[in-house]
Amino acid sequence: MPDSQPHPPLAGPETQFPPGVAWIDGRFVPMSEAKIPILDWGFLRSDATYDVVSVWKNHFFRLDKHLDRFLASVAKLRMSLPFDRTGLETLLHETVTRSGLEDAYVEMICTRGHSPTFSRDPRDAVNRFIAFAIPFGWIADETQRDRGLRMIVASVPRIPAASVDPTIKNYHWLDMVRGLYEAYDRGGENVLLKDLDGFLTEGPGFNLFAVKDGSVHTPDRGVLEGITRGTALELCAELKIPTRIEPLSMETLTTAEEAFVTSTAGGIMAIASVDGQALPASPGPITRRLGELYWAKHQDPAWTTPVRSL
């Protein structure tokens, strides 16, 4: 016969949270207290959009670009925020200031929320906005950044753009997660996914570039239009390096002189090998030049925004 008495919570290690601060449901809280209801459709249905901007040496990098993309994503998903662009920017500044971090990973999120009457109609939902600042994080550790990433191209295809618009930054990552496990099983460190036509797209949190015959190639479809991707293309123009934005084949990548990925979580990072095949250079000369200029731009007032104190 089942025991009708309540059971005490199971003993176990206390859940750890990074230092930082979050804004949720109208107030600032420590990261350990930032929670959403389990009925929020952002959790139940991955019905949410987000964006991440970095803070380096107490300066936002390309904040305007991230705000532009986030607001566009919110509009495309027919969501709304509780404030205008100026209010959003002010809140992000306050979030970073309250966190006390000089180098931070700053995320803004809008979820569908849920309907007060538990209606299944998304038009009835009250949207929820969340922001948080935690220490800056990298998609590659120091060793990987120095020698380049060992990349695997998964058999798992990327979710088609006709189904989920990749230009809306989203949490539909089950294809990426399946691909990551395949990469780990095959001795890789990270993963790239192809589309249904066999062209390369992107990986979890980063865009892809290949350098062939002195030109920088990057996919033109099935990818998030990453802020760091766009920055890399601008840097190529500044350095007078030709670029080609077009479908990217496996042959182009595997016969490239060098290749790299771009992400807010680390900037411009080399690829050392693809499916176990080493590339000729890692990091290659173009990857190095772009990477050096990328970090130099973090000192450029035209590309940065100082964090405003309270």
Asked if residue 35 has pLDDT above 70, the reply is yes
Q: What predicted TM-score, i.e. pTM, was given to this entire model?
A: 0.93
Asked if residue 23 has pLDDT above 70, the reply is yes
- Which pLDDT score, from 0 to 100, does residue 14 have? 55
Domain finish residue from 135, 164, 192: 135
Residues 123 and 57 in one domain: yes
Query: Using 50, 70 and 90 to split pLDDT, how confident is the model at 302?
Result: very high
Residues 182 and 239 in one domain: yes
CA-wise closest residue to 102 among 58, 52, 54: 58
Q: How many percent of the chain have pLDDT more than 90?
A: 94
CATH number of the domain residue 250 falls in: 3.20.10.10
What range defines the domain where residue 275 resides? 142-298
Query: In whole angstroms, what is the distance from residue 118 CA to residue 23 CA?
Result: 24
Based on its alpha-carbon atoms, the radius of gyration of the chain, rounded to whole angstroms, reads 21
- Which pLDDT score, from 0 to 100, does residue 310 have? 78
Query: In whole angstroms, what is the distance from residue 219 CA to residue 198 CA?
Result: 12
Asked if residue 2 has pLDDT above 80, the reply is no
Distances (CA, A) of 176 to 105, 158, 173, 194, 304: 21, 8, 5, 11, 31
Residues 270 and 210 in one domain: yes
Residues 125 and 218 in one domain: no
- Which pLDDT score, from 0 to 100, does residue 15 have? 62
Residues 153 and 118 in one domain: no
- Is residue 5 situated within a structural domain? no
Residues 250 and 163 in one domain: yes
> Taking a C-beta distance cutoff of 8 angstroms, is the pair 154, 179 a contact?
yes
Asked if residue 5 has pLDDT above 80, the reply is no
- Which pLDDT score, from 0 to 100, does residue 12 have? 43
3-state secondary structure of 271: strand
- Is residue 7 situated within a structural domain? no
Average pLDDT over all residues of the chain: 94
Residues 118 and 254 in one domain: no
Query: Using 50, 70 and 90 to split pLDDT, how confident is the model at 284?
Result: very high
Q: What is the biggest distance separating any 2 CA atoms in the chain, rounded to whole angstroms?
A: 77
Average of pLDDT values for 83-92? 97
List pLDDT tens digits, range 160-179.
Answer: 999 999 999 999 999 999 99
- Is residue 226 situated within a structural domain? yes
Domain finish residue from 135, 168, 196: 135
Domain finish residue from 135, 163, 186: 135
- Which pLDDT score, from 0 to 100, does residue 235 have? 98
Contact residues for 106 (Cβ-Cβ < 8 A; gap 6+): 52, 53, 54, 55, 60, 92, 95, 96, 131, 132, 133
Query: Using 50, 70 and 90 to split pLDDT, how confident is the model at 190?
Result: very high
Asked if residue 182 has pLDDT above 80, the reply is yes
Question: Which of 189-220 are b and which e, b meaning 16 or more Cβ less than 10 Å from the residue's Cβ?
Answer: bbbbbbbeeebbbbbbbbbbbbbbeeebbbbe
How many domains are there within the chain? 2
What's the gap between Cα 5 and its chain centre? 45
Average of pLDDT values for 124-149? 96
Query: In whole angstroms, what is the distance from residue 132 CA to residue 1 CA?
Result: 47
CATH number of the domain residue 82 falls in: 3.30.470.10
Average of pLDDT values for 219-236? 97
Residues 121 and 162 in one domain: no
Two tokens at 263? 């992400």
Asked if residue 136 has pLDDT above 90, the reply is yes
- Which pLDDT score, from 0 to 100, does residue 3 have? 42
Query: Using 50, 70 and 90 to split pLDDT, how confident is the model at 10?
Result: very low
Average of pLDDT values for 235-258? 98
Average of pLDDT values for 280-301? 97
Query: Using 50, 70 and 90 to split pLDDT, how confident is the model at 309?
Result: confident
Average of pLDDT values for 106-127? 96
Asked if residue 9 has pLDDT above 50, the reply is no
